[in-house]
Amino acid sequence: MTDIHGIYPMLYALFGADGGLDPGAHVAQVEACIAAGVHGLAVGGLASECNKLTVEERHALADWTLQAAAGRVPVSVTVSDNTTGGQIATVRRAADSGAAWAVLQPPPVKSASEAALIEFFGTVADAAPIPVGIQNAPEYIGIGLSNAGLIELNRRHPNVRVLKAEGPVMTIARLAEEAGGALTLFNGRNGIELLDSLRNGCAGMIPGVETCDVQSRIYDLHRAGEAGEADAAFREILPLLHFLMSTVDHLLCYGKRLAARRIGLDAVHDRGPATAPHPAGMRTLEHWSRGLGRLGS
C-alpha cells in the first residue's frame, strides 16, 4: 500500500444560493487542490457534510470529483450508507467511476458491539473491488473499534488495508506499533498533529481544503528529510489549525469560508442547521490566515 500516501484534503460540500450543491464551485475546488500540489483527494466525509446530503447528492459529489480529477491524483471516497447493501453499492459505483480506495463509516448505532461492527465492515470489504479503509473516529461519530478490533478486522478481511484514525499522536503511535504494518494509517483532525503523526507511523493525512497547499509542502519536506524546514512551516499554520478544529461544526463554518476565499468563490451558502459565523470568529480567522493567498497560485 506504499502508493497510498500524502495529503488528501477532504473536499467541502459547496452550496448555491438556491440551497443545492454547486457543481461549478466544486470543480473549482478540485482544480485548486490539484494546483496546490496535493497527493490525492477525499470526498464524502464529515467535512463534506455527508449527514446533510441525500444519497443522490453524495453520489454527485463523488462523480464530480472523479470527473474533474480525471486520473491526475487518486481519489478516496468515504461511504456513509447505513446498510451493508448500501455501502457495497456505493463502493462499487465509486470503483467503476475510478476511485482508488474507499473509506467506510460505521452505521450510526452507538450500542453496536465490536463483533457486529467487524461483521458489518467485513461484509462490505469482501465485496469491494478496491482497497477499503475504515474511519475510526468515535470522538466525532460516536462509535468505533478498539485497536485489537481493527487488527482482527484486517486479519479476517485483508482488503481492509487503510485506517483513517482521528486521534492524538499517542493513539496513532500505539496503533501503529500494535498493527505492525498491516494497516496504512492516515490521521485527520485537520492536520493539527501532522508531523508527529508522520513521525509515528502515518502514511499521510486527511485535513481540510483550506491549508492543503501548506500541508502538502510540509509533507514533501518531511519525506525529503528536511526536518527543520518542515517544522518551521508547520509552526506557521498551527495556530490556525487549532482555531479551526475545535469541533467539526466550527470547521464547517470557518474552514469552509477560508477555503472559499482561497479558491476565489464569491460567497458561502450554508445548509442548515449550521453554525453561523461570529464577528470574533471571523476576526480570529483573518488574523491567523492573513499570510495565505490564492490556493494553488
Give one DSSP letter per residue of 86-132, joined into a string: HHHHHHHHHHHTT-SEEEEPPPS-TT--HHHHHHHHHHHHHH-SS-E
What region does 293 belong to: left with phi over 0, alpha with psi -120 to 50, or beta?
beta
Q: Which residue did the predictor score with more confidence, 286 or 246?
A: 286
Per-residue pLDDT of 61-100, as tens digits, reads 999 999 999 999 999 999 999 999 999 999 999 999 999 9
How many CA atoms are closer than 13 Å to the CA of 44, on its beta-carbon side? 32
What the chain holds in terms of domains, given with CATH numbers, is: 6-288 (3.20.20.70)
| CA distance to 75, 211, 296, per residue, from 38 (Å) | 11, 10, 10
- How does residue 219 score in pLDDT terms, banded at 50, 70 and 90? very high
- How does residue 286 score in pLDDT terms, banded at 50, 70 and 90? very high
pLDDT of res. 109: 84
pLDDT of res. 163: 94
Contact indicator for 119, 157 with CB cutoff of 8 Å: no
**Res 140 pLDDT > 80:** no
**Res 281 pLDDT > 80:** yes
Span 102-106, average pLDDT? 95
**Res 288 pLDDT > 70:** yes
d(CA 77, CA 61): 9
Per-residue pLDDT of 154-208, as tens digits, reads 999 999 999 998 888 998 999 999 999 999 999 999 999 999 999 999 999 999 9
**Res 24 pLDDT > 70:** yes
Contact indicator for 149, 117 with CB cutoff of 8 Å: yes
- How does residue 143 score in pLDDT terms, banded at 50, 70 and 90? confident
For 236, residues 6+ apart whose C-beta sits below 8 A from its C-beta are: 214, 291
Question: Is 218 flagged in the annotation as binding?
Answer: no
pLDDT of res. 2: 57
Kindly give the pairing relationship between strand 75-79 and strand 132-136: unpaired
pLDDT of res. 1: 52
pTM: 0.96
